[in-house]
């Protein structure tokens, strides 16, 4: 049964990584922006869940759509006010998003305080018994939600008119503009959707982890590892690399500890990227 327990732990970690990394992969794949503030969207989603529960008495599940919309709106505002003026300037966008992330941490620290906050576990705080192994229902919910979000993202990209525009802009923005595609509008929607996914990830993980202004840093580092390992423009690669990193992290942490697990996973990724610099799934070349 140890194998089953490790597999469940790995799937749980992978599902959380997938939700965080999906938004990051979408933003970079379409706009080419390396968004260092992505982790702060996760943090804001977690704080939103805490605030809605603490001050408004809103339940965990009822708050999820509101948190997605709120963080998506914030992402759209950031793109419209700051990022849209820095496209095709990679270093500037890195510095700008890093600065936005630092400001977000400090604002949250001033408003909500620097102490740890906790979100009450929802009504799914029970376990499904499989043999001698108890599987927490909340973790199964997160796994199912991550699968649903991946399916929705895939459908938006490959089965809708908006997705066609997104892929056209990703391949060549100038040519797409010649066909009447408003790249600024599409970029704004992309940034909003990616931020919304990150906020939703923070909300669903908040009952499992303590909420703090610095919590996003860990998630964005892990999400970057997922995106780089899978291939920066591959949704399938994001899923596969989430599973690989989640499985390795869960297995190593089970026998040793979280610190050794993170170090070992990072070392493994560095070695793999040395021989496969484009990741497991080669990304298309941006024109």
% of the chain exceeding 90 in pLDDT: 41
Measured between alpha carbons, how far is residue 83 from residues 36, 45, 87, 220, 239 in Å?
12, 21, 7, 18, 27
List the single range of 52-61, 69-78, 174-183, 231-240 with lowest mean pLDDT: 231-240
HEC sequence for the chain: CHHHHHHHHHHHHHHHHHHHHHHHHHHHHHHCCCCCCHHHHHHHHHHHHHHHHHHCCCCHHHHHHHHHHHHHHHHHHHHHHCHHHCCCCHHHHHHHHHHHHHHHHHHHHHHHCCCCECCCCCCCCCEEEECCEEEEHHHHHHHHHHHHHHHHHHHHHHCCHHHHHHHHHHHCHHHHHHCCCCHHHHHHHHHHHHHHHHHHHHHHHCCCCCECCCHHHHHHHHHHHHHHHHCCCCHHHHHHHHHHHHHHHHHHHHHCCHHHHHHHHHHHHHHHHHHCCCCCCCCCCCC
What does pLDDT average to over the chain?
Answer: 86
Average pLDDT over residues 212-239: 85
Given pLDDT bands bounded at 50, 70 and 90, which one contains residue 285?
A: very low
Question: What are 118-128's pLDDT values in tens digits?
Answer: 998 877 656 66
% of the chain exceeding 70 in pLDDT: 90
Check residue 283 and give its pLDDT: 54
Place of tokens 């497991």: 280
Question: What are 23-51's pLDDT values in tens digits?
Answer: 898 998 888 888 999 999 999 999 999 99
Given pLDDT bands bounded at 50, 70 and 90, which one contains residue 151?
A: very high
Place of tokens 């990584």: 17
Average pLDDT over residues 49-76: 94
287 pLDDT above the threshold of 50: no
Instruction: Identify the sign of the CA torsion 259, 265, 268, 272.
Output: negative
Average pLDDT over residues 141-166: 91
Give the number of C-alpha atoms closer than 13 A to the C-alpha of residue 95, restricted to the C-beta side.
Answer: 5
Neighbours of 175 (CB within 10 A): 12
Question: What are 228-259's pLDDT values in tens digits?
Answer: 888 766 788 888 888 888 888 877 877 787 78
- CA–CA separation, 85 and 101 (whole Å): 18
Question: What are 157-180's pLDDT values in tens digits?
Answer: 899 998 888 888 888 888 888 888
Check residue 109 and give its pLDDT: 95
Q: Where are the domains of the chain?
A: 2-213
286 pLDDT above the threshold of 50: no
208 pLDDT above the threshold of 60: yes
Q: Is the pTM of this model over 0.85?
A: yes
Check residue 118 and give its pLDDT: 92
261 pLDDT above the threshold of 80: yes
């Amino acid at each position: 049964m140890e194998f089953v327990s490790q597999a469940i732990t790995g799937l749980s970690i992978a599902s959380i990584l997938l939700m965080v990394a999906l938004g990051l992969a979408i933003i970079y794949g379409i706009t080419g922006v390396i968004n260092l503030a992505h982790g702060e969207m996760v943090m804001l989603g977690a704080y939103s869940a805490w605030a809605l529960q603490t001050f408004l008495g809103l339940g965990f599940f009822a708050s999820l759509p509101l948190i997605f919309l709120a963080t998506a709106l914030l992402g759209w505002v950031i793109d419209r006010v700051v990022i849209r003026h820095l496209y095709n300037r990679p270093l500037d966008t890195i510095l700008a998003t890093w600065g936005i992330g630092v400001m977000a941490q400090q604002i949250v620290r001033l408003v909500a305080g620097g102490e740890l906050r906790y979100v009450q576990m929802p009504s799914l705080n029970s376990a499904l018994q499989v043999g001698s192994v108890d599987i927490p229902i909340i973790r199964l919910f997160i796994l199912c939600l991550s699968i649903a979000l991946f399916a929705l993202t895939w459908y938006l990209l490959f089965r809708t008119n908006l997705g066609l525009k997104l892929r056209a802009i990703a391949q060549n923005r100038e040519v797409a503009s010649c066909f009447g595609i408003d790249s600024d509008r599409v970029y704004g929607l992309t940034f909003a959707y990616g931020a919304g996914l990150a906020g939703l990830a923070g909300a669903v993980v908040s009952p499992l982890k303590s909420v703090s202004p610095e919590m996003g840093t860990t998630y964005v580092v892990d999400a970057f590892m997922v995106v780089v390992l899978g291939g920066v423009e591959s949704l399938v690669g994001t899923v596969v690399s989430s599973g690989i990193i989640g499985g390795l992290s869960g297995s190593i942490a089970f026998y040793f500890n979280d610190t050794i697990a993170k170090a070992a996973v990072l070392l493994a990724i560095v070695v793999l990227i040395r021989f496969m610099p484009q990741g497991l799934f080669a990304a298309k070349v941006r024109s």
